[in-house]
Structure 1
Amino acid sequence: MSYTLHPLKRQRLQRSELAVPGSNPGMIQKAADSDVDYIFLDLEDAVAPPDKVQARANIIEALNDIDWRGKGKTMSIRINGLDTHYMYRDVVEIIEQAGQHLDTILVPKVGVPADLYTVETMVSQIEEAMGFTHRIGLEALIETALGMANVESIAATPGRLEALHFGVADYAASNRARTVVIGGLNPDYPGDQWHFALSRMTVACRAYGLRAIDGPFGDFSDPDAYTASARRAAALGIEGKWAIHPSQVTLANDVFSPPEAEVTRARRILEELKKAEAEGRGAACLDGKMIDAASERMANNVLSVADAIAARG
């Protein structure tokens, strides 16, 4: 093991993340009553330019009026891009007026580490001025060719950064990929055309202690395809996926929750290795298969998620 280690910055249960337009108060209330782990109230792509100011006001009202933590929700907002004139007002107005109810800020189209530095500076100043006692985290959307080219240096950004998300639609557009679907497989490509991007982003996350989250799947009328997409992401180490429709929340929760048999086996692995250690052995055998220190680390990964789900209730 390298002497240089970056432990997980912040553990949050993020199996499902529901995208909710800030311009639709009715959808915000429905999201609060859903079984989703994580919600981001959107100010960016889901909100038309004429509606952005009102969406900001709606989000402030919703953050203040709904007992999100009592409902077991982790709350985020997706601000507008740094290349727009909306972004600074998103940060200033929402944090000043409702920041005490906000857990993270999702920054879209991050291309270089300095993009996060800009937002971090603003958040730090507002938090200090408002006297907040909690620290608002940052999450970055990797959804451009520039962002993917710099994903390792973005992941290494010190400070508030907690997670990276893969934004498949804008990423496809940025790369001029020949597809017009969001997150689905392309029949002209022999396999999953998003595999490289997801894998590279996940490695960057795990190297620098961040959570790795998969983005949207556009065809909410096809639950089987959504589930297959989520399972492919989970196999790479992704720990959650966006839902753009309430029907996708249960699918994501199911895929990213370890099955009971997997949890039971993880506990047995730890028990057998503890016995082996007491006998002076570094490895053991369980059900005809060798287990060792690497097995212990994998088992602990499973149990950390299981414990977080149990704590949510």
Structure 2
Amino acid sequence: MSKTIRPRRSVLYMPGSNARALEKARTLPADALILDLEDAVAPDVKAEARDQVAAAVAAGGYGGRELVIRINALDTEWGHADLAAAIDAGPNAILVPKASRAADLEAVSRRVEEAGRTIALWAMVETPLALLNIREIAGCAAHSHAPLACFVMGTNDLAKETRARFVPGRAPMLPWLVTSVLAARAHGLDIIDGVYNDFRDEEGFRAECIEARDLGMDGKTLIHPAQVAAANEVFAPADAEVEQARRIIAAFEQPENRGKGAISLDGRMVELLHAEMAKRTVALAEAIGGTSE
């Protein structure tokens, strides 16, 4: 595989102002944690949250969990201080909110480069303008010091800005979600679905996870630890899927099949593209198996 596979099945928002939540996050089986300085933090505790998040990242103890700091936008009174603290803390990624143009990410990328650091960026896709500019935003994957690695869909903000309603199956949003998946894949990005607002509705949450998985997304952002287990299950390849993938790979490695573009396996035609898909399935399963709990 040309790109290292990193599981991002469950991406849990943690309010940066809640020291107890930041501590508890060290024990949760989420693949990634978004330590939030933006929406989840009231204006009068923004500075305190910034200090707590920076200290938590510096202290470590989160195992293999991917740590992402969501800053406030640079055009707010907190944005520049958030970005400076995030760069100093050195998380796995910095999540840029309200990223409506490539220039929004380029401004952050310049600051990372000026600091002599290399930190990946994630981008919130949460405005109508972001959807219209999704292709150029995805192109920020090419940045050297702060490459864009992941889209995070902000479906609540999109609903607010467009007046689209949340309905089962999310028909009003499907064109936006699919277009974002296409842009992400065209530039080698991962893409994480938006949150499900009722964490007590286990059936509805699971259904939306399945929908996002079937659309091609890598995982789901979460608002409560109770949602982690279902997301991890839905976005992981099933045992039977992994077993079949291994069989496809092994079949193409047989001496008589090397160099062939297609072979017959169990009475079905299997092409090289299926072997490449199989390799990714196995790589994801192995990466999940190696993730620290």
2:56 corresponds, among 62, 81, 101, to 62
Matches within 5 A, 1:133-282: 135-157=118-140, 158-159=142-143, 160-177=147-164, 179=165, 185-186=166-167, 192-275=171-254, 278=257, 281-282=260-261
Counterparts in 2 of 1:79 and 1:299: CA distance versus 1, 3 Å: same
Listed one character per residue, the Cα deviations across residues 128-178 of structure 1 (whole Å, up to 9, x for unaligned) are 2xxx5xx2100101111000000011001221111111110001112122x
RMSD: 1.8
* Residue 3 (structure 1) aligns with: none
Kept after mapping to 2: 8 A contact 1:273/1:282: no
Tell me the CA shift for residue 193 of structure 1: 2.7
Counterparts in 2 of 1:225 and 1:293: CA distance versus 1, 3 Å: same
Tell me the CA shift for residue 199 of structure 1: 1.0
Kept after mapping to 2: 8 A contact 1:276/1:283: no
- TM-score, scaled to structure 1: 0.87
Matching of residue 89 in structure 1 with residue 78 in structure 2? no
Counterparts in 2 of 1:267 and 1:22: CA distance versus 1, 3 Å: same
Kept after mapping to 2: 8 A contact 1:16/1:36: yes
Listed one character per residue, the Cα deviations across residues 63-120 of structure 1 (whole Å, up to 9, x for unaligned) are 222422xx22111100001331211000112322x22xx1100001110000000001
Kept after mapping to 1: 8 A contact 2:71/2:83: yes
| Alignment-mate amino acid for residue 149 of structure 1 | L
- Higher alpha-carbon deviation: 58-67 or 274-283: 274-283
Matching of residue 300 in structure 1 with residue 289 in structure 2? no
Kept after mapping to 1: 8 A contact 2:5/2:284: no
Partner of 1:147, secondary structure, is helix
- The count of corresponding residues between Structure 1 and Structure 2 is 287
Kept after mapping to 2: 8 A contact 1:142/1:166: yes
Distance 1:33 1:280 in 2: 47
Q: Which runs of 4+ in 1 moved over 6 A?
A: none
Distance 2:66 2:265 in 1: 38
| Alignment-mate amino acid for residue 47 of structure 2 | V
Distance 1:240 1:65 in 2: 27
| Alignment-mate amino acid for residue 123 of structure 2 | A
Counterparts in 2 of 1:52 and 1:277: CA distance versus 1, 3 Å: farther
| Alignment-mate amino acid for residue 237 of structure 1 | G
Tell me the CA shift for residue 271 of structure 1: 1.7
| Alignment-mate amino acid for residue 34 of structure 2 | F
Unaligned runs of 5+ in 2: none
Unaligned runs of 5+ in 1: 1-6, 180-184
Distance 2:159 2:14 in 1: 22
* Residue 115 (structure 1) aligns with: 104
Distance 1:287 1:277 in 2: 16
- Higher alpha-carbon deviation: 145-154 or 79-88: 79-88
* Residue 43 (structure 2) aligns with: 49
Tell me the CA shift for residue 32 of structure 1: 1.2
| Alignment-mate amino acid for residue 184 of structure 2 | C
Tell me the CA shift for residue 202 of structure 1: 0.8
Distance 2:286 2:119 in 1: 23
